[in-house]
Amino acid sequence: MAGPQGLTGRSTILDVAAAAGVSRQTVTRAMNGMPDISTTTKERVLAAADRLGYRPSRFGRGLATGGDPQLGLLVEDLTNPYFPELAAAIVRKAGARGWTVLLAEGTGAPAGALEALEGQTDAVVGHFGPRADRWLDRPGGAPVVGLDVRADATHPGVRFDRAAAVNELTEHLVRAGVRRPAVLDASPDGTPSERGALLVEAFQRLGTRCRLLGGDGEDAARGAADSAALLASPDRPDAIVAFNDLMALGVLSTCRRAGVDVPGEVRVAGIDGLPVGALVAPTLTTLAVDLDAVAREAVDLAIALRDGAPADGPDARRTVHSRLVVRESA
Amino acid sequence: MAGPQGLTGRSTILDVAAAAGVSRQTVTRAMNGMPDISTTTKERVLAAADRLGYRPSRFGRGLATGGDPQLGLLVEDLTNPYFPELAAAIVRKAGARGWTVLLAEGTGAPAGALEALEGQTDAVVGHFGPRADRWLDRPGGAPVVGLDVRADATHPGVRFDRAAAVNELTEHLVRAGVRRPAVLDASPDGTPSERGALLVEAFQRLGTRCRLLGGDGEDAARGAADSAALLASPDRPDAIVAFNDLMALGVLSTCRRAGVDVPGEVRVAGIDGLPVGALVAPTLTTLAVDLDAVAREAVDLAIALRDGAPADGPDARRTVHSRLVVRESA
DNA sequence: CTGAAAGCGCTTACAG
DNA sequence: CTGAAAGCGCTTACAG
Q: Test B308 with A53 for CB contact under 8 angstroms.
A: yes
CA dist list (Å): B312 to A52, A64, B264, B305, B317: 16, 34, 49, 10, 8
| A130 band by pLDDT with thresholds 50, 70 and 90 | low
Chain C bases closer than 7 A to any CB of the protein: 1-5, 7-13
pLDDT at residue B111, rounded to an integer? 59
Among A44, A103, A261, most B C-beta atoms within 10 A, so best to mutate, is A103
Query: Which of these, A274, A262, A277, lies nearest to A330 by C-alpha position?
Result: A262
Strand pairing category for A239-242 and A211-213: unpaired
In chain B, the residue whose alpha carbon lies closest to the alpha carbon of A116 is B100
Contacting residues for B195 by C-beta, under 8 A, at least 6 apart: B162, B166, B185, B243, B271
Nearest-by-Cβ selection for A119 from B58, B85, B104: B58
Whether nucleic acid strand C comes within 7 Å of the CB of A102, the answer is no
In chain B, the residue whose alpha carbon lies closest to the alpha carbon of A59 is B59
Distance CA B1, CA B19 (A): 10
Q: Is B129 exposed, middle or buried (0-12, 13-18, 19+ CB in 10 A)?
A: middle
Whether nucleic acid strand D comes within 7 Å of the CB of B267, the answer is no
Strand pairing category for B70-75 and B123-126: parallel
pLDDT at residue A86, rounded to an integer? 95
Whether nucleic acid strand D comes within 7 Å of the CB of A14, the answer is yes
Closest residue (CA to C1') to nucleotide D7 in the complex: B64
More confident residue, B115 or A157: A157
In chain A, the residue whose alpha carbon lies closest to the alpha carbon of B310 is A53
Q: What is the pLDDT along chain B (330 residues), one digit of tens a residue?
A: 444 444 566 889 999 999 999 999 999 999 988 888 889 999 999 999 989 989 899 999 999 988 888 999 998 888 899 999 999 999 999 989 989 888 888 754 555 677 778 778 899 999 987 665 655 556 667 889 999 998 888 889 999 999 999 999 999 999 999 999 999 999 988 899 999 999 999 999 999 999 999 999 999 999 999 999 999 999 999 999 999 999 999 999 999 989 999 999 999 999 999 999 998 989 999 999 999 999 999 999 999 998 888 888 889 999 999 999 999 999
| A7 band by pLDDT with thresholds 50, 70 and 90 | low
| A128 band by pLDDT with thresholds 50, 70 and 90 | confident
Nearest-by-Cβ selection for A84 from B73, B81, B100: B81
Nearest-by-Cβ selection for B140 from A56, A60, A281: A56
Beta bridge pairs of residue B123: B71
Tell if the pTM clears 0.75, that is, is over it.
Answer: yes
Closest residue (CA to C1') to nucleotide C4 in the complex: A23
Nucleotide nearest to B61 (CA to C1'): C10
Closest residue (CA to C1') to nucleotide D6 in the complex: B64
CA dist list (Å): A160 to A164, A194, A321: 11, 11, 6
Strand pairing category for B100-105 and B70-75: parallel
pLDDT at residue B173, rounded to an integer? 98
Q: Test B62 with A58 for CB contact under 8 angstroms.
A: yes
Contacting residues of B for A142, CB less than 8 Å apart: 55
Query: Which of these, B321, B300, B291, lies nearest to A79 by C-alpha position?
Result: B291
pLDDT above 60 for A59: yes
Whether nucleic acid strand D comes within 7 Å of the CB of A12, the answer is yes
Distance CA A55, CA A10 (A): 8
Find the helix or strand (DSSP H, E) in which A265 lies: none
Distance CA B93, CA B80 (A): 21
Nucleotide nearest to B6 (CA to C1'): C8
pLDDT at residue B35, rounded to an integer? 84
Contacting residues of A for B32, CB less than 8 Å apart: 140
Nearest-by-Cβ selection for A91 from B54, B103, B308: B103
| A18 band by pLDDT with thresholds 50, 70 and 90 | very high
Nearest-by-Cβ selection for A142 from B55, B102, B278: B55
Q: Test A87 with B87 for CB contact under 8 angstroms.
A: yes
Q: Do the Cβ atoms of A309 and A315 come closer than 8 Å?
A: yes
Q: Test B276 with A276 for CB contact under 8 angstroms.
A: yes
Whether nucleic acid strand C comes within 7 Å of the CB of A40, the answer is yes
